[in-house]
């Protein structure tokens, strides 16, 4: 040992967060460039010695010689193991203490070198030294007894050590003592003073152990609340420090809760949850549940709000730019903005857009959000059948989460978005509850300011949200839910509207989507009309948009093969060359007068359509056979029609026995398509009378209306869609119930100009128009109605009763 304890110029190892002592072995990992270079220099020599000195500031990466203590230990490198990432693990035997006379940086080697002067222990009174040594040994036994984490081999080794200096070194190397205290004892060269410092350190450790024990016992007693919280927080800080998270998560949550602007009672509730979370282990399932709840609450908007567009003209301009037509919706949004501007505050309207697919219900909702300057959220309700989808799950369940309303509000990030409830007529119910019932609270302006999600468990204000629902049909929406919404019907588009929409929106959109410009393809008006009439058969424009996209793709293929191709003009003659033969043609045979064949009009969720009703007699016993996949209501209409004709057989010149000698078969073509509704009543009656009276029915007339057993014609719905369907196939005369006369003014001007509407009160008036020689079937009435004189549109024909009068 005496030969080793000589002054040497050795490579310096800056050690962070640890003090080493002689007579021990240590293992440490090194990754800094200067440390790796120092180890390399030491292992390249024969003695393999290094000078280990503790770094003053643990977190500092770039250091100078002044950042190191002046006393360290000389150690001999025993083993160096390579780790991933270029780091190494070094095993050393610590030999002796040394004082750094000079520490300098070597720019060539990029490491520090130091002159290590060995520290010689200074002894004084041997008796006093022995007394301090024995006292220290007893204290060490007490400390090790309270700290069960000291290795047994260290305890056994200490019992065999007789040298006081070595005893202090070995004991301190195994104890949890502050770094500055260890460094102070390491630097002391007088053995008695060193023993004194060691004993003070041991007494401090014993006092800390007694306090810890006292605190542990006090947990089970009724102690002062403030002391208890202080103790728990100090213990938690120590635990988090050991785990490496420092309890930052709770602090971050607490800061967010205090600055979020939550309601006072919700803020208090969240703080309680944070305090609970601080008492749990992060691995606890309840800890995860609480963090998930806090994240959801903090992600919701509570005070964040966007400002609505100030000028009405700007709002209208956006709506006009995005959509053609839809005047009712634009007018309603303008009214809302005007009232909001005058009052400063009002509850947002809850609108329901009802209409066939493809008429722009969803896209107009997006445009409304853009026009108002609000965020837009869409929630599809198609197929939703669990009430928890709306209200959320209770936190007691594993994997619980908020409902889709809260999820949408979180995505919106504001308390006043435009919230689209898409396909509200497609929701269903099962054993898990009725989502429509849960929506009652959401869509009720008197209740939705305190909407309570089961997961959030706190009333949330939805009164500033503009809810817009879309549906294809009102019939499948429960009445209480329908009553809470302001229904705006969107009818199908006329040919002129479809042409304008295609020219303004669909063509530019599809050209851009397929990499084309106006210099590549040009759609003429007759080309657009040919596309609409020959390849689409719908109330909206969804199929039309796909068809225009097909044309654009065909043109794109041509340009990919020939980049010098001139402008492609898509007109009525060239469209079939790209799309093939037209899929839809006007059926001219519909206009031929036949016996037992009548043109009816029907309304479906997909728009209006024409409906042909066929009737035929065959020898039998007077049975009635109905085919064509008819619903119960439509079957009842056929039975009511037959009953009325039989009851008035003498009036129509039909022998009474004919009804018992023939069976009647009524069929509605396209048998695979379900059909139902009462509006085919007069159509059924006309077909039945035609076959029994053997009279032809005009093929250029269509009709719609419900019939009673007394022969009255009752009003129907969907007149616009039905009128558009008649116009689409070229029918120019439509018979409607008298109760629908007021609806004619709501029809597009082009429909009123092209179609003659004949309002009727009695079914006999229908027979007078469509049956050959039917005028004689109209009985004289006590009061002859007068023809209404309207403006040039609509064109309304006189009823047979009026003509006879």
CA distance 722 to 283: 65
Ramachandran region of residue 247, left (φ > 0), alpha (ψ -120 to 50) or beta? left
Contact, 124 vs 165, CB < 8 A?
Answer: no
The two structure tokens encoding residue 369: 């959000």
Distance between CA atoms of residues 635 and 628, nearest Å: 10
| Neighbouring residues of 116: CB distance < 8 A, sequence distance ≥ 6 | 7, 8, 9, 10, 51, 72, 74, 98, 99, 100, 101
Q: For the CA atoms of 353, 358, 362, 366, what is the dihedral angle to 10 degrees?
A: -120
Residue 100: in which H helix or E strand, if any? strand 88-106
| DSSP-H helix ranges across 620-679 | 632-647, 658-661
DSSP string for residues in 504-559: IIIHHHHHHHTT--TTTEEE-HHHHHHHHHHH---SSSHHHHHHHHHHHHHHHHHH
Alpha helices of 2-161 — where are they, by DSSP H? 33-44, 126-146, 152-160
- The Cα–Cα gap between 477 and 484 comes to 11
Catalytic residue among 367, 491, 679, 690: 679
Calpha distance 204→332 (Å, rounded): 79
The answer to whether the beta carbons of residues 148 and 211 sit under 8 Å apart is no
Q: What CA–CA distance (Å, rounded) separates 67 from 61?
A: 10
Active site residue 679: yes
Q: What are phi and psi of 692, to 5 degrees?
A: -75, -35
The DSSP secondary-structure symbol of 91 reads: E
Cβ contact 537:493 at 8 Å = no
Residue 414 falls in the annotated catalytic set: no
Among candidate residues 330, 722, 723, 761, the one labeled active-site is: 722
Torsion, Cα 527 530 531 533, to 10 degrees, reads 150
**CA triple 598-601-604, angle to 5 deg:** 140
Q: Can you tell me the distance from the alpha carbon of 787 to that of 380, in angstroms, rounded to the nearest whole number?
A: 49
Contacts of 374 (CB under 8 A, 6+ apart): 306, 308, 414, 416, 417, 418, 466
Backbone phi and psi for residue 613, each to the nearest 5 degrees, phi listed first: -110, 125
* CA–CA separation, 219 and 207 (whole Å): 18
Q: What is the DSSP letter of 563?
A: T
Nearest by Cα to 702 from 584, 585, 587, 591: 591
- Which string of DSSP letters, residue by residue, matches 243-295? HT-TTHHHHHHHHHHHHTT--HHHHHHHHHHHHHHHTS-TTSHHHHHHHHHHH
Buried b (16+ CB within 10 A) or exposed e, 577-600: ebbeeeeeeeeeebbebebbbbbb
Catalytic residue ranges: 679, 722
């Amino acid at each position: 040992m005496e030969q080793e304890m000589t002054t040497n110029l050795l490579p310096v190892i800056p050690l962070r967060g640890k003090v080493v002592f002689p007579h021990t072995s240590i293992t440490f990992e090194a990754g800094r460039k200067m440390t790796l270079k120092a180890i390399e220099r030491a292992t390249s020599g024969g003695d393999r010695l290094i000078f280990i000195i503790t770094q003053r500031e643990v977190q500092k990466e770039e250091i100078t010689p002044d950042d190191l203590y002046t006393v360290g230990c000389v150690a001999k490198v025993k083993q160096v193991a390579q780790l991933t990432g270029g780091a190494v693990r070094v095993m050393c035997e610590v030999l002796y203490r040394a004082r750094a006379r000079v520490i300098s940086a070597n720019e060539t080697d990029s490491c520090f070198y130091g002159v290590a002067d060995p520290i010689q222990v200074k002894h004084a009174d041997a008796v006093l030294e022995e007394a301090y040594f024995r006292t220290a040994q007893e204290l060490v036994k007490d400390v090790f007894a309270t700290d069960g984490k000291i290795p047994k081999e260290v305890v056994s080794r200490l019992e065999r050590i007789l040298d006081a200096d070595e005893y202090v070194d070995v004991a301190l190397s195994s104890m949890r003592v502050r770094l500055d205290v260890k460094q102070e004892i390491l630097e002391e060269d007088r053995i008695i003073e060193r023993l004194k410092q060691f004993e003070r350190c041991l007494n401090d450790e014993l006092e800390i152990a007694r306090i810890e024990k006292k605190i542990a016992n006090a947990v089970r007693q009724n102690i002062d609340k403030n002391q208890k919280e202080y103790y728990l927080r100090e213990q938690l800080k120590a635990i988090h420090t050991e785990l490496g998270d420092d309890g930052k998560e709770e602090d971050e949550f607490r800061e967010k809760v205090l600055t979020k602007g939550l309601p006072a009672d919700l803020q208090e509730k969240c703080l309680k949850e944070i305090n609970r979370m601080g008492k749990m282990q992060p691995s606890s399932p309840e800890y995860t549940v609480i963090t998930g709840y806090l994240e959801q609450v903090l992600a919701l908007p509570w005070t964040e709000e966007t400002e609505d567009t100030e000028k009405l003209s700007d709002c209208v301009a956006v709506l006009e730019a995005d959509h053609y037509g839809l005047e009712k919706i634009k007018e309603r949004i303008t009214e809302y903005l005007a009232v909001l501007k005058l009052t400063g505050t009002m509850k947002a309207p809850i609108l329901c857009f009802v209409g066939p697919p493809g008429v722009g219900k969803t896209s107009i909702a997006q445009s409304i959000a853009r026009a108002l300057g609000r965020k837009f959220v869409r929630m599809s309700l198609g197929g939703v059948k669990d009430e928890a989808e709306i209200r959320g799950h209770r936190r007691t369940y594993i994997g619980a989460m908020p409902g889709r309303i809260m999820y949408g509000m979180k995505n919106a990030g504001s308390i006043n978005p435009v919230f689209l409830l898409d396909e509200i007529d497609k929701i269903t119910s099962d054993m898990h509850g009725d989502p429509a019932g849960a929506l009652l609270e959401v869509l009720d302006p008197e209740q939705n300011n305190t909407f309570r999600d089961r997961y959030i468990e706190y009333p949330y204000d939805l009164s500033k949200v503009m809810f817009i629902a879309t549906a294809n049909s009102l019939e499948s929406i429960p009445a209480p839910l329908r009553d809470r919404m302001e229904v705006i019907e969107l009818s199908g588009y006329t040919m002129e509207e479809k042409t304008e929409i295609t020219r303004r929106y669909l063509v530019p959109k599809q050209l851009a989507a397929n990499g084309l410009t106006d210099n590549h393809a040009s759609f003429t008006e007759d080309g657009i009309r040919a596309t609409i009439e020959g390849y689409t058969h719908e109330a909206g424009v969804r199929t039309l948009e796909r068809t225009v996209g097909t044309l654009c793709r065909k043109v794109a293929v041509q340009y990919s093969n020939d980049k010098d191709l001139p402008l492609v003009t898509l007109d009525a003659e060239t469209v079939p060359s790209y799309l093939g033969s037209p899929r839809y043609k006007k059926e001219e045979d519909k206009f031929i007068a036949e016996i037992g064949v009548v043109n009816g009009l029907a309304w479906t969720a997909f728009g209006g359509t024409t409906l042909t009703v066929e009737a035929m007699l065959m020898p039998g016993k007077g049975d009635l056979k109905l085919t064509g996949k008819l619903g119960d209501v439509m079957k009842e209409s056929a039975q009511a029609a037959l009953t009325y004709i039989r009851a008035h057989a003498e009036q129509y010149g039909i022998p009474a026995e004919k009804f018992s000698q023939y069976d009647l078969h009524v069929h509605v073509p396209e048998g695979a398509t379900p059909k139902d509704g009462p509006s085919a009543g007069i159509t059924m009656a006309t077909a039945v009378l035609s076959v029994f009276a053997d009279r032809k029915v005009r093929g250029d007339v269509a009709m719609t209306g419900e019939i009673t057993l007394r022969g009255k014609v009752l009003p129907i719905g969907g007149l616009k869609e039905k009128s558009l369907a008649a116009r689409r196939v070229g029918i120019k005369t439509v018979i409607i119930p008298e109760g629908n006369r007021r609806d004619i003014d709501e029809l597009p001007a082009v429909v009123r100009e092209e179609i003659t509407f004949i309002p009727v009160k009695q079914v006999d008036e229908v027979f007078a128009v469509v049956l050959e020689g039917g005028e004689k079937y109209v009985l004289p009435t006590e009061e002859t109605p007068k023809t209404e004189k309207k403006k040039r549109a609509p064109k309304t024909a006189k009823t047979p009763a009026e003509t006879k009068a």
